[in-house]
A and B are shown apart, each in its own frame.
Chain A
Amino acid sequence: MNNAELIPNLFRSEYSKLVAVICYKFGFDFVEQAEDIVSDTFLKASETWGIKGIPDNPTGWLYTVAKNNATDYFRRRNIYDSKILPDLKEETNQFEIDISKENILDSQLKMIFVVCDPINHIESQIVLALRILCGFGITEISNSLLISTANTNKKLYRAKQNLKNMNVVDFELTPDLINGRLDSVLRVLYLLFNEGYYSSNENYDIRKDICFEAMRLLYILINNKSTNTHKTNSLMALFCFHVSRFDARISKEGEFILYEDQDKTKWDLELINKGIHFLMKAGTNNTSDYSYEARIAYWHCQKDVDENRKWSSILQLYNSLLRHKYTPIAALNRTYALSKVKGNSIALAEAKKLNLEDNFFYNCLLIELAETETEKRKHFSKAIKLTKNKASKNILTKKYSRFIN
Chain B
Amino acid sequence: MKQFMMIFRNEGIQEHKPSPEELQAMMTQWNDWLGGIAAQDKLVGSEALGATGKLLKNKEVISDGPYAEVKEYISGYAIIKADSFDEAVEVSKGCPIFANGGTLEVRDVMVFDQ
Which of B34, B40, B43 has the most chain A CB within a 10 Å cutoff? B40
A350 touches B31 (CB 8 A): no
B32 touches A322 (CB 8 A): no
B40 touches A323 (CB 8 A): no
B-contacting 9-mer, from A8-16, A19-27, A222-230, A311-319: A311-319
CA distance A312 to B39 in the complex (A): 16
Q: Mark A270-308, 1 if CB is under 8 A from B, else 0.
A: 000000000000000000000000000000000000000
A323 touches B35 (CB 8 A): yes
Interfacial chain B residues near A57, Cβ < 8 Å: none
B22 an interface residue at 8 Å Cβ cutoff?
A: no
Q: How far is the CB of A321 from chain B (nearest CB, A)?
A: 8
Given contacts A319-B36, A323-B43, A331-B40, 19 further A-B contacts (CB under 8 A): A312-B28, A315-B32, A319-B34, A319-B35, A319-B38, A322-B35, A322-B38, A322-B43, A326-B39, A326-B43, A331-B39, A331-B41, A334-B35, A338-B32, A350-B36, A353-B39, A353-B40, A354-B39, A355-B41
Smallest CB-CB A-B distances: 3 pairs: A319-B35, A322-B38, A331-B39
- Residue ID in chain B nearest A353 by CB atoms: B40
B100 an interface residue at 8 Å Cβ cutoff?
A: no
Q: Mark B32-56, 1 if CB is under 8 A from A, else 0.
A: 1011101111010010000000000
A335 an interface residue at 8 Å Cβ cutoff?
A: yes
B 66-104 contacts with A by CB, 8 A: none
A316 touches B28 (CB 8 A): yes
Tell me whether chain A's interface is mostly helix, strand or loop, or mixed. helix
Q: How far is the CB of A330 from chain B (nearest CB, A)?
A: 8
CA distance A319 to B31 in the complex (A): 6
Tell me whether chain B's interface is mostly helix, strand or loop, or mixed. helix
CA distance A318 to B31 in the complex (A): 9
Q: How many of chain A's residues have a CB under 8 angstroms from any CB in B?
A: 18
CA distance A175 to B81 in the complex (A): 39
A 197-212 contacts with B by CB, 8 A: none
Q: How far is the CB of B22 from chain A (nearest CB, A)?
A: 16
Interfacial chain A residues near B40, Cβ < 8 Å: 331, 353-355
CA distance A136 to B31 in the complex (A): 44
Q: How far is the CB of B47 from chain A (nearest CB, A)?
A: 11
Q: How far is the CB of A319 from chain B (nearest CB, A)?
A: 3
- Residue ID in chain A nearest B31 by CB atoms: A319
CA distance A331 to B39 in the complex (A): 4
- Residue ID in chain B nearest A326 by CB atoms: B41
A320 an interface residue at 8 Å Cβ cutoff?
A: yes
Q: Mark A348-367, 1 if CB is under 8 A from B, else 0.
A: 00100111000000000000
CA distance A312 to B34 in the complex (A): 15
Q: How far is the CB of A360 from chain B (nearest CB, A)?
A: 17
Interfacial chain A residues near B34, Cβ < 8 Å: 319, 323
CA distance A334 to B39 in the complex (A): 8
CA distance A43 to B36 in the complex (A): 57
CA distance A101 to B44 in the complex (A): 48
Q: Mark A328-341, 1 if CB is under 8 A from B, else 0.
A: 00110011001000
A320 touches B39 (CB 8 A): no
CA distance A335 to B36 in the complex (A): 8
